[in-house]
């Protein structure tokens, strides 16, 4: 939050002294209290304040740029051709992902992922504030779906093994194996996580914020 500086405060006080109307003074005092400009740094990294739906949608551009950077780095440091070759059995995934370039890509990916997650949490917190909700709702909208996806994540090794078996069958022109049956718990928890994600989307991207000031700040549309 960039607070109004000293000269600006002096200007407000001078204006308040020149105009005797109580309405004008109330407006100036309100601007003095809330007077700030949300810069890019606060928009992306601060957990205080409020933003409207347009700024919540705008942050998607950051994630798109992040994805483009990751794709470019992956193509230049590892290469999609290497993944195709490993899938076709010409090499192994272990050989692809144990190179120094792959390790460096993994480090850069982790940094970009953590940065993107922090930005997503900060922007969503301000949107929740606009809805007059505490940032603790991030636990429901972000953490809870992740926890609910754990059973499905535990099933991923079986799915990857099945994929490898299918690619081997294609390479050797043999009958591919039947896919493994996903546990009912993974299906149920993933369904609940999907419903929570839909709720979060409606709450953050579709519903209007509180009209007027609330406990988290002024109306960003005012």
- pLDDT tens-digit profile of 181-202? 999 999 999 999 999 999 999 9
pLDDT recorded at residue 9: 40
Region 135-158: mean pLDDT is 94
Percentage of the chain modeled with pLDDT above 90: 55
State how beta strands 36-37 and 2-3 pair. antiparallel
pLDDT at 172 over 70: yes
Per the model's pLDDT, the better-predicted residue between 160 and 149 turns out to be: 149
Q: Grade residue 37 by pLDDT with cuts at 50, 70 and 90.
A: low
Closest CA to 63 of 1, 118, 125: 118
CB count within 10 Å of CB 171 equals 12
Prediction pTM value? 0.74
Question: Helices in 35-183 by DSSP H: which ranges?
Answer: 40-45, 53-58, 60-77, 80-87, 93-97, 100-130, 138, 144-148, 150-154, 156-172
């Amino acid at each position: 939050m960039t607070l109004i500086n000293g000269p600006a405060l002096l200007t407000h006080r001078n204006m308040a002294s020149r105009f005797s109307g109580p309405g004008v003074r109330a407006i100036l005092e309100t601007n003095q209290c809330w007077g700030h400009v949300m810069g890019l740094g606060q928009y992306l990294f601060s957990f205080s304040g409020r933003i409207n739906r347009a700024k919540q949608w705008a942050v998607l551009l950051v994630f798109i740029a992040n994805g483009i950077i990751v794709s470019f780095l992956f193509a230049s440091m590892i290469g999609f051709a290497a993944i195709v070759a490993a899938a076709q059995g010409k090499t192994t995934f272990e050989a692809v992902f144990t190179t120094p370039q792959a390790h460096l890509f993994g480090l850069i990916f982790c940094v970009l992922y953590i940065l993107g997650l922090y930005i997503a949490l900060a922007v969503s917190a301000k949107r929740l504030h606009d809805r007059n909700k505490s940032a603790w709702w991030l636990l429901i909208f972000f953490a809870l779906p992740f926890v609910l996806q754990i059973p499905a994540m535990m099933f991923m090794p079986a799915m990857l093994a099945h994929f490898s078996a299918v690619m081997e069958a294609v390479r050797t022109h043999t009958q591919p194996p039947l896919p493994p049956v996903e546990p009912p718990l993974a299906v149920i928890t993933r369904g609940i996580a999907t419903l929570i994600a839909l709720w979060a989307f409606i709450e953050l991207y579709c519903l209007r914020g509180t009209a007027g000031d609330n406990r988290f700040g002024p109306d960003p549309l005012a």
